[in-house]
Amino acid sequence: MKLAFSTLGVPGLPLADVVRLAGDHGYHGVELRAHPEEPVHPGLGPAERAGAAAVFKDAGVEVLGLAGYARVAAPGEDEPVAAEIRSLLELAHDLGAPYVRVFPGGAVEQSRDEADATAARRLATAAEYAAGLGVRVLLETHDSHRTGADAARVLGAVGHRQAGALWDVMHTWLGGEQPVQSYAALSPHLGYVQVKDIAGTDDTTPLALGAGVLPLTEVVDVLCREGWDGWLCWEYEKRWYPQAAPLPGILGAGREHLARLLNESA
């Protein structure tokens, strides 16, 4: 498996420093938070996109994907959501990134069936557009569709290869699924896996990998047992938890922890 980290852990860091951290600590790639606060976002022009792509290519670091914020199950008109996803897919294509992350974002006033249908309709449209760009749009296990079963319900209705799943192991665990259950639901759709660690259900402040309660050993075990050979991406949510330890100081130990889990599960 290849290892990556998300720039959510180093908010606003210049790309040259991002690739240096990846190279110094043995990561194969980076997931880029695609937001105007960050160096890479859909508002970049052609020259800026080409320059960003060159930074990664020259450093030999892959852009795993773009972490966007479109909410495919949210109430409202389809076109604003579709336009947001199109802009992310185009940016991913220009950077050579294979994936774009979207959220479910269903609202409490929706029924489950209504949220599922809205998400499936929008993802089907996005998948057709993504196919022409060579990019996959991935629904993250998050918020209104926290579990693998939730995401699989939507993706089964979409039925398009370019629409897949991003497995956030914290959310499936908080949703009551065991890793073997999450993998079984998501495996037909799985793009990549976000790993992290936290203190507990009542404290999701990010911790160093292996320092918390999330079942990372079990996640890696099931992936290895099933012969899955994709990406593990460490999403360390420093942007939302300023009190968390700085990510650069623990990146090396995090890679070593994941490598150890992979070796033990091989």
Report which of 169, 138, 168 is spatially closest to residue 155, judged by C-alpha positions. Answer: 138
Q: Give CA–CA dist 254/234, Å, rounded.
A: 8
pLDDT band at 250 (very low <50, low <70, confident <90, very high): very high
Q: Give CA–CA dist 192/202, Å, rounded.
A: 26
Averaged confidence pLDDT in the chain: 97
Q: Give CA–CA dist 18/79, Å, rounded.
A: 34
Query: Taking the CB of residue 8, how many other CB atoms lie within 10 A of it?
Result: 22
The structure tokens listed for 72 are 């495919």
Q: Give CA–CA dist 41/213, Å, rounded.
A: 33
Report which of 100, 165, 156 is spatially closest to residue 126, judged by C-alpha positions. Answer: 100
Provide the pLDDT for residue 266.
78
pLDDT single digits (tens) 172-207: 999 999 999 999 999 999 999 999 999 999 999 999
pLDDT single digits (tens) 25-35: 999 999 999 99
Domains of the chain, first to last: 2-265 (3.20.20.150)
Model-level pTM greater than 0.95?
yes
